[in-house]
Amino acid sequence: MDLHALRSFQAVAEGATVTDAAAEARITQPALSRALKRLEDEVGAELFHRVGRILRLTPAGRVFKEYVDAVLDSYDRGCRAVAEVVDPEGGVVSLAFLHTLGTWLVPRLVTGFREAFPQTRFELHQADENGLAQRLLDSTADVIITSRDPGHPLITWRRLLVESLWLAVPVRHRLAQRQRVRLAEAAEEQFIVLKPGYGLRSVTETLCRQAGFSPLVGFEGEEVETLRGLVAAGLGVSLIPVSREASTAPDMNPDLPIRYLQVTDVQAARDIGIAWLASRTLPPAPQRFVDHARSVTADATAAPAPRG
């Protein structure tokens, strides 16, 4: 059985057109169509049916794909294991992480790791909380860095650090001259939040409920920097992560006139952790990265109040 044909089958089964899959495989579309037909002959069943211009899996195709995924994953891991035997200081770390951690924590961890293991390559992916867990389950990532325990029986999660959350308000806001605030005092404010599925969104909703109200959502974004910008524009308030490891105090940026207030009536913080599949032995390079991440963040805590 041709591994290239299996990869093309997998690509088409996951939604790629035959044209795109053929381009990825660097063969012609008719050649790919013939390869898929040979695969069906070998399996002894029709694997696809056509819906307009799209190929959809048949029931037999859905069953077959589960085994194809397992075969290709096992083959790829075998190749990686051999490569790491040949070059034990190298290897590949496939790492997925929250968007909000791409500005400070992930660069810090990757930079420190590569100083010790400069030959290691990284494959980096960003996703929301649900997408991160799925990347582990799909074996498209070795390790994820996320803001909460996925709570899945097949996933092992370990806390790395605790990140403080501060109430960000515009500089001309009625609370802007304060240093501390009860979150309940913002119950009537418009909240600028991330979209559902992002960890910071669920943490914000949980903290507001603990403070006795449901947040009035004024805007849903996909990046924390967008939240900061809209707060600075006076469109609402937001719970923003501020960590000791951040490169600069965000409220010192003259382009973002924001004040950050310490929240006193609820424990405004979120866990940041690292996770991997419990049922799978990590290859050497990802295991070294997990050990590195846990070591350099040991006893890390949230930042003191931002300056400004």
- Does the structure show a pLDDT above 90 at 289? yes
- Residue 257 pLDDT class (50, 70, 90 cuts): confident
Read off the pLDDT of each residue in 212-238 and give the average, rounded to a whole number: 92
Alpha-carbon separation of residue 258 from 87, 97, 268 (angstroms): 49, 27, 18
> Residue 282 is which amino acid?
L
Residues 168, 169, 174, 179, CA torsion sign: positive
1 vs 13, more confident: 13
Cα gap 265→185, rounded to integer Å:
10
Strand 238-242 and strand 258-263: the pairing is unpaired
- Does the structure show a pLDDT above 50 at 116? yes
Q: To which H or E segment does residue 155 belong?
A: strand 155-170
Tell me what pLDDT residue 213 has.
Answer: 96
Q: Give, as one character, the DSSP assignment of residue 264.
A: -
Nearest residue to 266 via CA among 199, 198, 205, 193: 205
- Residue 192 pLDDT class (50, 70, 90 cuts): very high
- Residue 306 pLDDT class (50, 70, 90 cuts): very low
Nearest residue to 202 via CA among 274, 265, 128: 128
Task: Give the residue carrying structure tokens 């009860």.
Answer: 182
pLDDT more than 70, % of the chain: 90
Tell me what pLDDT residue 303 has.
Answer: 44
CB 135 within 8 A of CB 142: no
191 vs 126, more confident: 191
Highest average pLDDT, of 12-21, 204-213, 246-255, comes from 204-213
pTM of the model as a whole:
0.67
CB 148 within 8 A of CB 204: no
Nearest residue to 134 via CA among 8, 275, 12, 10: 275
Domains detected in the chain: 3-85 (1.10.10.10), 88-160+271-296 (3.40.190.10), 162-270 (3.40.190.10)
Read off the pLDDT of each residue in 203-225 and give the average, rounded to a whole number: 93
Nearest residue to 20 via CA among 56, 12, 6: 12
Give Cα 290 to chain centroid, integer Å: 16
Of 80-84, 86-90, 97-101, 143-147, the least confident: 86-90
What does the mean pLDDT of the chain come to? 86
274 vs 21, more confident: 274
- Does the structure show a pLDDT above 90 at 144? yes
- Residue 112 pLDDT class (50, 70, 90 cuts): very high
- Does the structure show a pLDDT above 70 at 222? yes
Residue positions counted in the chain: 308
Cα gap 204→168, rounded to integer Å:
12
- Residue 223 pLDDT class (50, 70, 90 cuts): confident
Highest average pLDDT, of 139-143, 200-204, 211-215, comes from 211-215
- Does the structure show a pLDDT above 80 at 1? no
Task: Give the residue carrying structure tokens 């719970």.
Answer: 239
Tell me what pLDDT residue 243 has.
Answer: 57
Strand 180-181 and strand 258-263: the pairing is parallel
Query: How many beta carbons lie within 10 A of that of residue 106, not counting itself?
Result: 19
Tell me what pLDDT residue 254 has.
Answer: 54
121 vs 89, more confident: 121
